A and B are shown apart, each in its own frame.
Chain A
Amino acid sequence: MHDKISAEDQALLDKFLADNKMFLGPDPEIMRNHGVAPRSEAEEAILSKGFDAHRAHHIRGLVNAALSESFQMVNQMGAAPGAKWGDLVTAIYTANGNLAMIAPHGIITFAACAFYPIRFIIKNWMEDPTVGVKDGDGFIHNDARYGGVHNTDQSMMMPLYYKGELICWLSSTIHEGENGACEPGGLPAAAESKYDEGIKMSPFKVVENFQLKRDLVTFLQNSVRDPKLQLEDMKVKLHAVMRLRERIVAILDQFGREALIGTMRMHLEDTEVEVRRRIRELPDGTTRVLQFMDSSLRENIMQKISVAVTVKGDRMIMDFRGTAPQFLNRSVNTNLASFKAALATGLLQNIWPDLPHTMAVLSPIEVITDRNSIVDAEGEMPQAMSLMPLFKACVAWTIPMAKFNYSLPKKYSAIIASQYDQAATFIYGGLTQHGDVTGNFCGDINGMGQGARSHADGEHSVSPVFGFMADSGEHEINEEDTPIIRLGAQRLAKDRIGFGKYRGGMGYEQIATARGSGLWGFMTGCEGSKFPSAQGLFGGYSCPSYQLMKIKGINIFEELKKDPKIVEVFDIVKLMNERPIKGGKYSSNDMGMTFELCSDGEIYMICQGSGGGYGDVLERDPALVMKDVREDLLSPDLAREIYQVVFDDKTLVVDEEATVQLRAEARRQRLARGKPFDQFCKEWVTPEPPAHLPYLGSWDNPKEIYATTPMGQRVKMPADQIQGVFMPNPKDIAIMQLEGEVESLKAQLAACQGDASRRGNA
């Protein structure tokens, strides 16, 4: 073969390959780069002349107002439940696809990954004669492989041309929910390949001359369970973006192109400079945290996420090497771009909330991962429930950054333990009482308990882990639209607390059933049933484990008709322990449940979770302990046992002196039972994960990755050569176990029959 070809031939070959690319899949050149692209010629020309910061501030205010207005439009008009709660965003990007500004109250994550599809459009469609990009065009997208949190989110992206020049891009994104996946509601934990995840929209043109192309809309409507929702929200997003466009054009008319282009670029560069300045203030060194996820949502399997944050001067490196390998046939993977978007969100939400909401907050931070790990998954793998590692990314900062930040003479936000980080809500689907097919999820996802702070308890059910605020929805509206009936809602989950000197904010109970549908079901997608999810800080404890409770085989409406007082109060613990409804099958299960049919009146119960606690429980002010008891958030027994407070049962008055003595005794007991660290490690540390534990990820060495299946097969791989893990069907395992039991029972029966026969013969 020819080893060397001429430059001319090489250019010809390159052009041939470029012109004949068989598939424009997710492009690693785009998807692996979270950095702000260099200045364009236009930006350089404007900024090199010097750009007035006051002018930029003025324009920024106007752009923010425009983004806010378009956000409100979608919030007010959107048909998806998520839109009503605020699970949406609008944003503006530079002409070369840098995310410049996000609507102040929008969900950061959505926009933090929507610049990837815009860069794809710029790279592939702009010059393509069969597609092209012109004024009045709009592009749709939902496939997270091209940039996105997950495939439930749909974006409308529009270029803005002004006097013939592409000035910027505008977008609107909503968590739509339903997307035609193998399970209703858009978050299919049952997806075993990307082909089970429902409709896959790589970025394509769906709007021309500011109008939706009805042929394509019809195709999309046919691909999802909720065709009316699909049309309505495509219209909503388009018109919100068009309003945003009007406002931006007005800014251009009044202040000129240089003002807007210069402002957006300056905004990005200033943010990067500020992030580096803040990094420089931190101590040099490395802080680490481990996160453990105990479920694939199909079976319990332990996945480690290893986090090491290193600061050196103005460099910050987030190192995730040593993390669990990706699953080949479970949906709890994420690609790297989505993971970084969640990191950007967590950084803004928990560490530097005052920074501008732009991609430039993460741009200066280096992120290192193992390819094919669960946070950098590639290929055919499903990622429909990427929320699992993504929510971990949102809180990945809290513990290691608290250890960097605590010393600072000036802080930008409070020191805070981890927020609860599970998608604790009901996902649903089926036929409504109105005869419509639907699928979506409930707003309860937005009430995760806040982590405790260094100066105060966490706020109860404060927000989603991925946004500063989103509403938890109106149950009455949901009951009008769907067969879901709330038997219990927004009741704080007593005793389920991240304990500490300051306790985590608590989550609420959710008790649901269905009525009036011939075909209805629920699913839930949470980890943390075996290994708690929200971590405490500086001696604070994590949240507890949470379970999914069911009462099946009954109809609560029939029972209530027979005896209106059969249930005194819809309280999960009471219902499960007292079992007031006779004949029901009560069960406590993992929080990961694939879609399951719910007959009229059967009961499903879950909780939002508590944030992690802060500090030593023995330092909690007894007055705060008793406040929790009085408010029925904490049982008197736990007040005594966890917080070591002595008080009168009836009056709840604290015996201060006895409490001091009891706590002193508790500290003495600690000294008596604790072992010196080195001695402890000799006894505690095992060379590899315990045999009984299905474990994925590194153990003592981040360069060696273990993969263990529930059947006990274990392999060890070099971290730079990770292979995905293929899981057996849990039902096959159950069948195999049952067959084993049947064989064993048959053998016992045969032995008994043999004995009987011998006795008969005797």
Chain B
Amino acid sequence: MKVLITEYLRINLDTEKWECRRCGHVHGDARDNYKRGLLVYDRDPREIHKPLLDTKMYSRTYSPDPTWCRILEYYCSSCGTLVEAEYLPPGHPPLYDIELDIDALKLQWKDREEVVEEVRGPDLAAEKVKHGRALHAQAHGHDHGHHGHKH
């Protein structure tokens, strides 16, 4: 039985290991920090959020300040998938972000069927926004063509 934990991580309950969901690579002990099985790279944030203003004219250019912010990129050591992008001040200890009780997880999944692809939930946040917009447009007498909602 394997339990999906993120887009790129799953826990194999039988072996108690973290695994890559893209290539099946075993990252390490599920009772430990999965990051320990990954490769890490300290990325200058200006390489991702590139300066949009001329750096000769301005010091603030829509890029983060590399002396305040770094991006730690975590890669699967087998397939190179970017598993996490962690934004930290320079030198800050990486976060132990997922620490699950494996015994409880086993118990919880004892009677559940295995899920191999993410089960999507309804897109409720967006639906509520759209409903609210339609209501607002109707109340203010300017239906901006929102699918002709009439209540």
Contact = CB atoms under 8 A, between A and B. Distances in A.
B119 to A, nearest CB: 6
A690 B91 contact: yes
A283 B89 CA distance: 30
A406 B5 contact: yes
A403 B6 contact: yes
Given A288-B95, A539-B83, A617-B82, A407 B115 contact: yes
Contacts of A538: 6-8, 83-84
Nearest to B114: A409
A129 interface: no
Task: Report the interface size class on chain B.
Answer: 35 or more
A413 interface: yes
B42 to A, nearest CB: 6
Interface string A402-415: 11011111111111
A161 interface: no
Interface string A582-602: 000011111000000000000
Contacts of B100: 283-285
B82 A616 contact: yes
B41 A678 contact: no
Given A409-B112, A642-B48, A673 B41 contact: yes
Contact of A539 (B8, B37, B67): B8
A532 B39 contact: no
Given A545-B49, A577-B54, A450 B69 contact: no
A675 B120 contact: no
B8 A699 contact: no
Given A409-B115, A538-B7, A496 B52 contact: yes
Contacts of A408: 119
A459 B129 contact: yes
A615 B83 CA distance: 8
B132 A468 contact: yes
A535 B40 contact: no
A170 interface: no
Given A469-B136, A589-B60, A689-B89, A284 B101 contact: yes
Interface in B113-151: 113, 115, 118-126, 128-129, 131-133, 135-136, 139-140
Contact of A577 (B49, B53, B68, B136): B53
Interface in B59-86: 59-65, 67-69, 71-75, 77, 79-85
A539 B77 contact: no
A544 interface: yes
Contacts, number: 292
Given A285-B104, A288-B95, A416-B125, A536 B77 contact: no
B39 A671 contact: yes
A720 interface: no
Given A415-B118, A530-B68, A287 B97 contact: yes
Nearest to A300: B68
Contact of B139 (A72, A536, A577, A690): A72
Contacts of B71: 541
B104 to A, nearest CB: 4
A532 B80 contact: no
Interface string B82-107: 11110111111111111111001100
A544 to B, nearest CB: 4
Nearest to A411: B121
Interface in A694-734: 695, 699-700
Contacts of B4: 406-407
Contact of B119 (A354, A409, A499, A668): A409
B107 to A, nearest CB: 9
B38 interface: yes
Nearest to B67: A692
B36 to A, nearest CB: 5
A76 interface: yes
A414 B124 contact: yes
B68 A302 contact: yes
A586 B59 CA distance: 12
A657 B102 CA distance: 42
B3 A409 contact: no
20 contacts: A288-B99, A290-B95, A300-B68, A312-B101, A410-B119, A411-B119, A413-B124, A414-B120, A414-B122, A414-B126, A415-B120, A469-B136, A471-B140, A495-B52, A538-B7, A545-B49, A588-B60, A674-B38, A675-B39, A699-B93
Given A642-B48, A670-B41, A678-B36, 11 more contacts: A406-B4, A413-B121, A414-B122, A450-B125, A454-B118, A456-B123, A471-B140, A577-B57, A590-B60, A675-B39, A677-B40
Interface of A: 72, 75-76, 86, 105, 283-290, 292, 294, 300, 302, 312, 349-350, 353-354, 399-400, 402-403, 405-416, 450, 453-456, 459, 462-463, 468-469, 471, 495-496, 499, 501, 529-532, 535-536, 538-542, 544-547, 573, 576-577, 586-590, 614-619, 638, 641-642, 666-668, 670-671, 673-678, 680-681, 684-686, 689-690, 692-693, 695, 699-700
Give the 7 A-B CB pairs with smallest separation, nearest first. Answer: A674-B39, A469-B132, A411-B121, A667-B80, A686-B91, A285-B100, A284-B104
